[in-house]
Amino acid sequence: MNWEQVKANRRVWDRISSWYQQAHGPQISRRPKLWGAWSVPEEELGALGPTAGLRALELGCGGAQWAGALAAEGAAVIGLDLSGEQLRAARARVPDLPLVHAAAETLPFRSGSFDLVFCDHGALSWSNPRDTVPEVARVLVPGGRLVFNTASPWVRVCYDGSSDRVTANLRSSYFDLGALDEGDGARTYTLTYGAWTRVFRANGLVVEDLIEPQPAPNAPSSYYTCDPADWATRWPAETLWVTRKTQ
């Protein structure tokens, strides 16, 4: 595991946490359980299903908007984040929620501790899946689920860095997807569909569903600027994976 990258990601998130919560908090917190950059409701997608009574772990909980919502519905939720500043935001929002300051690549839990591990972008975007997915599989019970949302290959290959816009033109190679430099040594990850599938299979996870959230027409996003403006209603900007541990 690349500890220097983990430290770099932590430095970046500790630095930008306050800005992030101010810039995106109003959209994330508009109502409970909203997926992704266009805030598509869970009730429309059904990715998690009923969670009351489940032992759940959110990887990269940020301000704990998701973890707090699941806890309010009766799940036993722990929020984990690499950034201490993000955990401060979570503590302010949900004072009684159990929080853990740790890297998703080395989860500080016993094997078979959780029925559900989930995140909306979070650690499955900001850590190398080849390090994180094995840890997730370890802490899941047999039959437990990993459910997470991340940027789709489409949004990456259509992103124009010069204008900071997602466009209708292919800008980069699909086959070159992987680590993306976010500055100061930090990285995010977008894998091809095949690469994700191989990581799941290598760790005893089967794909039960691949949901591609489609926002409503004119749905706003504080994360992306698109050209054309309705880009995300025409092409999938995010991939919401629903996987289950087989044994």
Query: Where residue 2 falls among pLDDT bands split at 50, 70, 90?
Result: confident
The alpha carbon of residue 200 and the mean position of all alpha carbons in its chain are separated, in whole angstroms, by 16
Report the pLDDT value the prediction gives residue 1, as an integer from 0 to 100: 75
Domains of the chain: 3-151+188-216+239-245 (3.40.50.150)
pLDDT mean over 119-143: 97
Percent of the chain past pLDDT 90, that is, above it, reads 94
pLDDT mean over 73-89: 97
Report the pLDDT value the prediction gives residue 42, as an integer from 0 to 100: 97
Query: Where residue 119 falls among pLDDT bands split at 50, 70, 90?
Result: very high
Give the span between the Cα atoms of 193 and 233, in whole angstroms: 20
Asked if pLDDT for residue 12 goes beyond 90, the answer is yes
Comparing 15-19, 106-110, 130-134, 182-186, the range with the smallest average pLDDT is 182-186
Query: Where residue 132 falls among pLDDT bands split at 50, 70, 90?
Result: very high
Report the pLDDT value the prediction gives residue 238, as an integer from 0 to 100: 97
Report the pLDDT value the prediction gives residue 157, as an integer from 0 to 100: 97
Tens digits of residue pLDDT in 21-60: 999 999 999 899 999 999 999 999 999 999 999 999 999 9
Asked if pLDDT for residue 151 goes beyond 90, the answer is yes
